[in-house]
Chains A and B, each alone.
Chain A
Amino acid sequence: MTTQRTHIMVCGGTGCVSADSLEIVEKFKGALSDAGYSDEVGVIKTGCFGFCGQGPIVKIHPDNVFYVKVSPDDVAEIVGEHIIKGRTVQRLLYQEPETQKKLPKHDEMSFYKKQYRIALRNCGLINPEDINEYIAFNGYEALGKALTEYTPDKVIEIMKASGLRGRGGGGFSTGLKWELTRKTVSDQKYVICNADEGDPGAFMDRSILEGDPHSVLEAMALAGYAIGAQEGIIYIRAEYPLAIKRLEVAIAQAREYGLLGKQIFETNFSFDIKIKLGAGAFVCGEETALIHSVEGNRGEPTKKPPYPAVEGYNRKPTVVNNVETLANVAPIILKGAEWFSSIGTEKSKGTKVFALAGKVNNVGLVEVPMGTTLREIIYDIGGGIIGGKKFKAVQTGGPSGGVITTLDLDTPIDYESLRAIGSMMGSGGMIVMDEDDCMVNIAKFYLEFTQDESCGKCTPCRLGTKRMFEILDKITKGEGTMDDITKLRTLGKTVKESALCGLGQTAPNPILSTLEYFYDEYLAHIQDKRCPAGACKALAKYKIIEEKCIGCTACARVCPVSCISGAPKQKHVIDEEKCIACGACYTACKFQAVLRP
């Protein structure tokens, strides 16, 4: 192997791939070979850098220069200037919006400064399709250490002491889950990785699987060793083709290296992993539903107990862990429980990956210690609201969570604090909303989702979510009554208390939380028949564009409620209070002067 002086890392995550990053890789290879530098300079396709809003991203090592929004046409310049002449291409550097300063190094950017990466440690750093690179960064060392130095009980003890809790949303202690499964006596046990990331707005699991698949495989083997399982299953969404492909490559390489299969590290421990595809059902993120789906059935949840730790896949004890949870396991085994539990808050240890999206400047994946405040995430890391607009709320926990307003911007985030303010951690989706977003409409959006994804097995969820959606729909159309608010509250409470699984139990959260924090918006829709954010179409009014109106009076003549005033050859005005939004004026105007809502 030749020693290369420089590595060009090109992001190969879904976001950047969709912006032609694979073509960039090919162009680099071509340009380097034309210039005769193929031996000295390597081109590596990495996992996601996390800064998706700035993609495609190209990073040059060891110069530590971070280029953003690179297009295939920029390749020749990077090779000619940077690689050959050693001059940084200024125009492709990231420019910080507040200071207007160009920053070549990623660790100087406020997006990265406050981050602390454990689960995402290798994303953007290694080639996910090459096991050697994972091994070079201490990969499979934790597995080797556990198999040769630790008993399974010791592994569980470390996990428990670390304080790691399930990152899929539940927040149950991972070590305890493993211990319960270990204690159940059975001839066969299973480890299942839940990669059915269905929460709209969350994509950390996909990025980990695409950027660092081996970290998940290693953790599954560790879990297998701890609980006494020989078989692991990754249940992954069929909508993630790239992640599936990288996992297949990773599993094949791990088998080839003897890191999966029989007698790993020459011990008596054998473990292998297979992939099972989901088929598009949000409820399958619930562990009992997931297990039924793995078994080839409709993914309907069943009552707990029995918990999967006692009776899971094939009626055998099964551990179900989420992708991000697993990505934390190997570092904990290597660096120790004390190190991990020194990060975070009293009850929530370690870090959490959030998918920052919506109306925020820096969109992407961020990993921060538990206890970081929302203000730090949205303003310091996220760079504030797009277009300098006013922050309104952030939705966490997806369809199961609630909104957080300016009141709680300075609350340190962990499992408990989020629950206390009526939201939840969920899988870590964080959708930032500004003054243009209508909160009633957002609640309606989530209920439309849950009523559609409800599996229909239990009545509270099947009918309750449907009725709540219908009431919200009515309100957004200006047909709501005050009685509807009472109905929403009682119905929400009933569904919360009586639904079979987590999907139903949490489905009313978006309504209850918006009712709590944005009651005035509900009132505006019901009493004033007005949408303060101007997002609800049915409540939006027609307007006349002054510059285009020539005063022909055509609109005023057709208006059935005579709400348009204005003398001939003068600008006309619509009285929004009287307008019934029939659209007659829009059709009548020959000068496109009427603006349709």
Chain B
Amino acid sequence: MSDIFSLEHADEKLKVLDAFIKEQNAEEEALISILHKAQELFGYLPSELQLYVSRKLNIPAAKVYGVVSFYSYFSQEKRGKYTINVCMGTACFVKGVEKVMHEFSDQLGVKPGGSTSDGLFTLKDVRCIGACGLAPVVMINDKVFGHVTTHDVARLISDYRAQEGSDS
């Protein structure tokens, strides 16, 4: 079991989450919105966080787990600081996004769905993000990169690595 509640700033994050739940009148209907908020705050939804939400809303943990596991947007695994979403929509597919995915996978040394050991990157395939005009498309966190070729992969990774270096 990961100890998500012993992490830095966990108390403050929980307070924000509590306030959000209160704002929703702790309604069962708001479950998906609350899970969005929880994931935004903590980065992912491990089982103890799911349990926490279920107790707050007074609903079975099985229901929370059922919802979390149903939707692909929710992650139960810890994710890297940057999630590299490679679009697997049809437009990107016919423009050869598979090669881009392989290149990311080779260079990062992780399979789609996996995270690098330094906790920096998670590689994911994502459903069409609707930027088909720019195919093939890669979205790193919220930023969209269009017309990505295998040659761009190394640069994208090193740019984000460099950004990390200058941040810390």
Given contact pairs A18-B145, A19-B146, A279-B32, A445 touches B93 in the complex (Cβ within 8 A): yes
Residues of B within 8 A of A363 (CB): 91, 132-133, 135
Report yes or no: A15 in contact with B128, Cβ–Cβ below 8 A. Answer: no
Given contact pairs A18-B145, A296-B67, A358 touches B127 in the complex (Cβ within 8 A): no
Report yes or no: A15 in contact with B142, Cβ–Cβ below 8 A. Answer: no
Partner of B128, one of A53, A200, A358: A200
Q: Give residues 368-398 of A contacting B (CB, 8 Å).
A: 395, 398
Q: How far is the CB of B86 from chain A (nearest CB, A)?
A: 13
Partner of B95, one of A200, A240, A358, A442: A358
- Whether B94 is near chain A, meaning CB under 8 Å from some CB there, is yes
- Whether B4 is near chain A, meaning CB under 8 Å from some CB there, is no
Report yes or no: B90 in contact with A358, Cβ–Cβ below 8 A. Answer: yes
Report yes or no: A17 in contact with B70, Cβ–Cβ below 8 A. Answer: no
Q: How far is the CB of B39 from chain A (nearest CB, A)?
A: 9
Give the interface size bracket for B toward A.
35 or more
Known: A279-B35, A281-B70, A357-B132. 20 other contacts (CB 8 A): A14-B130, A15-B133, A18-B137, A18-B143, A53-B133, A55-B133, A200-B127, A203-B132, A206-B130, A239-B129, A277-B32, A277-B36, A278-B32, A279-B73, A281-B72, A296-B27, A296-B30, A297-B63, A433-B94, A437-B94
Give bound CA distance, A277 to B35, whole Å. Answer: 11
Report yes or no: A52 in contact with B89, Cβ–Cβ below 8 A. Answer: no
Give bound CA distance, A299 to B33, whole Å. Answer: 14
Report yes or no: B90 in contact with A398, Cβ–Cβ below 8 A. Answer: yes
19 sample A-B contacts, Cβ–Cβ < 8 Å, listed by A number: A15-B131, A18-B134, A18-B137, A18-B144, A18-B146, A197-B130, A200-B91, A277-B36, A279-B32, A281-B70, A297-B31, A297-B63, A298-B66, A357-B132, A358-B94, A359-B94, A395-B90, A429-B90, A431-B90
Report yes or no: A277 in contact with B134, Cβ–Cβ below 8 A. Answer: no
Partner of A238, one of B30, B66, B73, B89: B73
Residues of B within 8 A of A280 (CB): 71-74, 127
- Whether A241 is near chain B, meaning CB under 8 Å from some CB there, is yes
Residues of B within 8 A of A240 (CB): 130
- Whether B28 is near chain A, meaning CB under 8 Å from some CB there, is yes
Q: How far is the CB of A495 from chain B (nearest CB, A)?
A: 21
Q: How far is the CB of B9 from chain A (nearest CB, A)?
A: 24
**Number of inter-chain CB pairs below 8 Å:** 136
* CB nearest neighbor in B for A197: B130
- Whether A364 is near chain B, meaning CB under 8 Å from some CB there, is yes
Most chain B CB atoms below 10 A, which of A14, A240, A359: A14
Most chain B CB atoms below 10 A, which of A18, A202, A282, A433: A18
Q: How far is the CB of A241 from chain B (nearest CB, A)?
A: 6
Give bound CA distance, A294 to B30, whole Å. Answer: 8
Q: How far is the CB of A242 from chain B (nearest CB, A)?
A: 9
